[in-house]
Structure 1
Amino acid sequence: MRLRRELVVVVVLLVIIGALVRTSAGRFVLPLVAVGVVASLGYLLFKTPAYSRTTFGPRRRILESTSSDTNATCVECGAPATTIRRYVREWVVLGVPVVLLDDGRNPVCDDHLD
């Protein structure tokens, strides 16, 4: 559902840019948009990548952290959780996550860490 919403935003932006091309304001706005796109790509390329620089497409990763929630229980056995596993599915371009496709969290105890 998030992907559909972002696709609609991209299409609307392209329609607005297409309308600007036909006006005299497009001479000033389109170069600014181009500079903004180049600056954004430059920022993404110099940011520390979550994946290798050649990665492109949907990817999944798991992030682990210690549990600070005293009420969290293990999803496997119901014991008090010591670790929170957060999983994310992302669309990746040049090693940098661009779109979050899905995410969630699973609290687990020491016995079920694998």
Structure 2
Amino acid sequence: MRFRRELAVVVALFVLVGALARTSAGRFVLPLVSVAVVAALVILLFRTPAYSRTTFGPRTRILESTPNTTDTACVECGSPATTLRRYVREWVVLGVPVVLLDDGENPVCDDHRD
């Protein structure tokens, strides 16, 4: 299902570009769009990737840190938390997160860390 949707978007873009290329406005619009796409790709490629460079689509990362307060309780058992686990669900293009889809935090103790 996902492949069909992506294929439909690609075909629609090709039809749009083909129709635009046949008009007189295409002489001005297509070079500007091409420059903007190349500039966006250059910016994405020079950012430090959070994922491998071949990653594309929705991905989840887990970042761990120590909690700021000592009264934070573990979400699993209620004992004092020693680690604050932050999850981040992102849309990734060429290894670079471009859209944040969801995020949150879960304090956990050492027993429930793995």
Compute the TM-score of the two structures, normalised by the length of structure 1.
0.66
What amino acid sits opposite 1:87 in the alignment?
Y
SS at match of 2:64: strand
1:43 CA drift (Å): 1.9
Alignment-derived partner of residue 86 in structure 2:
86
Offset from partner CA, 1:69-92 (integer Å, 9 cap, x none): 222110011111110111111110
Deviates more, 1:62-71 or 1:104-113: 62-71
1:39 CA drift (Å): 3.2
Offset from partner CA, 1:16-67 (integer Å, 9 cap, x none): xxxxxxx9xxx6xx84x76555433312111110111011111111111111
Alignment-derived partner of residue 75 in structure 2:
75
Alignment of 1:1-114 (within 5 A): 31=32, 35=35, 37-114=37-114
* Moved >3 Å (runs of 4+): 33-40
SS at match of 2:43: helix
Compute the TM-score of the two structures, normalised by the length of structure 2.
0.66
Residues of 1 paired with 2:59 and 2:45: CA distance?
Answer: 18
**What are structure 2's unaligned runs of at least 5 residues?**
1-24
Q: How many residues were matched structurally?
A: 91
Residues of 2 paired with 1:73 and 1:99: CA distance?
Answer: 30
Alignment-derived partner of residue 9 in structure 1:
none
**What are structure 1's unaligned runs of at least 5 residues?**
1-22
Give the structure with higher Rg (CA): 2
SS at match of 1:63: strand
Residues of 2 paired with 1:52 and 1:77: CA distance?
Answer: 35
Q: CA RMSD in A?
A: 2.5
